[in-house]
């Protein structure tokens, strides 16, 4: 064979270098920083939703007690009624509607399950991006199967409690297609598979985030009525006293501010999650969605801290 000339060898080398970029580029490591930022931003949602929904459920329960005391409801209307064909369940049946505090307690459970699902999912993405304690050591496909079952169980419980109607042919959070793409990424470490998997999950994140926002809006709906009911005796007291009225004003505004921040945080989830697909694909973006979610949950955390201080003043 006739040896290649030096010129020919230098002609081939750029081609091989370019080929290496194409072949290895899909296997390049994923920056775990955006995934870690997304996961950490979800933590205040857990404490925020639990604090707010618990407080709203208790306020609604107290309002119901006051209605009974005022004669607007009778004690016999609080009686539990059996549920046909469900021997282990009884429910409130008066006015063919359940009390708000029961609905709010269910929302609390649903939001808790949703937060567990999203936080578990976000933490799994951190691991898949190489940001876990094991670094580049990824879970096995069998381990991911178990994780997917757990995530889908939590998301399914959230959907049921929040009133989301799920297509029975699709998984609650991770569809069969998404699970397969995640497994492909685990086996090949090709970032396009990770980006595709995250994109596959996007519609479900949007649906669950919207359901969470609806629940928060319903939690906020009685606040104005409760304020008016509590204000009336304070405003007609003799002699007049501004102190309890101002405290009621402060408490009501703090409650509404916390609920609004929680509502905005859930509203920011879809855009932040969409940014993760961009980060996995290494597209040049500013990750504005992740930044916005982080900013709002920091604000939420601050409001929760102030609320705790107001409810538990230092001696």
Lowest mean pLDDT among 41-50, 90-99, 232-241: 90-99
Q: Is residue 298 part of a domain?
A: yes
**Quick one: pLDDT at residue 170?**
60
**Quick one: pLDDT at residue 23?**
37
Q: Is residue 237 part of a domain?
A: yes
**Quick one: pLDDT at residue 131?**
86
Structure tokens belonging to residue 154 = 């939590």
Specify the higher pLDDT residue, 299 or 30: 299
Is the pLDDT at 6 greater than 50? The verdict is no
Q: Is residue 292 part of a domain?
A: yes
**pLDDT, average across residues 245-258:** 94
Are 300 and 258 spatial neighbours (Cβ–Cβ below 8 Å)?
Answer: yes
Count of the separate structural domains present in the chain: 1
**pLDDT, average across residues 266-270:** 97
The tens digit of pLDDT for each residue in 100-117 reads 888 899 999 999 999 999
- The proportion of the chain whose per-residue pLDDT surpasses 90, expressed as a percent, equals 59
Lowest mean pLDDT among 133-137, 252-256, 274-278: 133-137
Return d(Cα 92, Cα 77) in angstroms, integer: 8
* Cβ neighbours, 10 Å, residue 76: 7
Write the CA distances from 50 to 44, 56, 306, integer angstroms.
10, 10, 16
Q: Is residue 60 part of a domain?
A: yes
Q: Is residue 21 part of a domain?
A: no
**Quick one: pLDDT at residue 14?**
40
At 8, is the pLDDT very low, low, confident or very high (cuts 50, 70, 90)? very low
**Quick one: pLDDT at residue 163?**
82
The mean of the pLDDT values for the chain is 85
Q: Is residue 94 part of a domain?
A: yes
**pLDDT, average across residues 307-312:** 75
Range(s) of the domain holding residue 232: 30-310
Return d(Cα 145, Cα 176) in angstroms, integer: 10
Q: Is residue 145 part of a domain?
A: yes
**Quick one: pLDDT at residue 166?**
62
**Quick one: pLDDT at residue 96?**
57
- The proportion of the chain whose per-residue pLDDT surpasses 70, expressed as a percent, equals 86
Specify the higher pLDDT residue, 48 or 134: 48
The tens digit of pLDDT for each residue in 278-307 reads 999 887 677 999 999 999 999 999 998 888
The tens digit of pLDDT for each residue in 135-160 reads 777 889 999 999 999 999 999 999 88
């Amino acid at each position: 064979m006739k040896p290649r000339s030096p010129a020919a060898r230098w002609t081939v080398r750029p081609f091989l270098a370019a080929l290496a970029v194409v072949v290895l580029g899909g296997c390049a490591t994923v920056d775990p920083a955006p995934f870690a930022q997304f996961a950490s931003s979800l933590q205040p949602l857990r404490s925020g939703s639990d604090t707010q929904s618990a407080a709203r459920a208790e306020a609604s329960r107290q309002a119901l007690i006051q209605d009974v005391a005022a004669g607007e409801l009778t004690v016999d209307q609080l009686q539990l009624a059996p549920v046909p064909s469900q021997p282990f369940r009884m429910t409130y049946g008066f006015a063919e509607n359940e009390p708000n505090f029961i609905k709010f307690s269910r929302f609390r459970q649903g939001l808790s399950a949703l937060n567990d699902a999203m936080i578990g999912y976000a933490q799994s993405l951190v691991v898949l991006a190489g940001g876990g304690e094991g670094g580049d050591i990824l879970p096995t496909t069998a381990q991911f199967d178990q994780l997917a079952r757990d995530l889908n169980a939590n998301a399914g419980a959230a959907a049921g409690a929040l009133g989301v109607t799920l297509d029975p042919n699709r998984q609650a959070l991770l569809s069969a297609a998404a699970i397969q793409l995640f497994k492909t990424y685990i086996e090949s470490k090709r970032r396009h598979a990770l980006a595709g998997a995250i994109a596959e999950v996007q519609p479900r994140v949007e649906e669950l985030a919207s359901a969470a926002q609806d629940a928060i809006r319903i939690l906020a709906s009685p606040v104005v009525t409760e304020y008016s009911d509590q204000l009336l005796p304070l405003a007609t007291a003799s002699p007049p006293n501004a102190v309890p009225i101002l405290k009621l004003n402060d408490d009501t505004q703090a409650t509404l501010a916390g609920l609004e921040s929680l509502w905005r945080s859930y509203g920011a989830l879809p855009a932040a999650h969409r940014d993760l697909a961009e980060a996995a694909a290494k597209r040049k973006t500013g990750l504005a969605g992740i930044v916005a979610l982080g900013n709002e949950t920091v604000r939420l955390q601050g409001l929760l801290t102030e609320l705790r201080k107001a409810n538990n003043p230092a001696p």
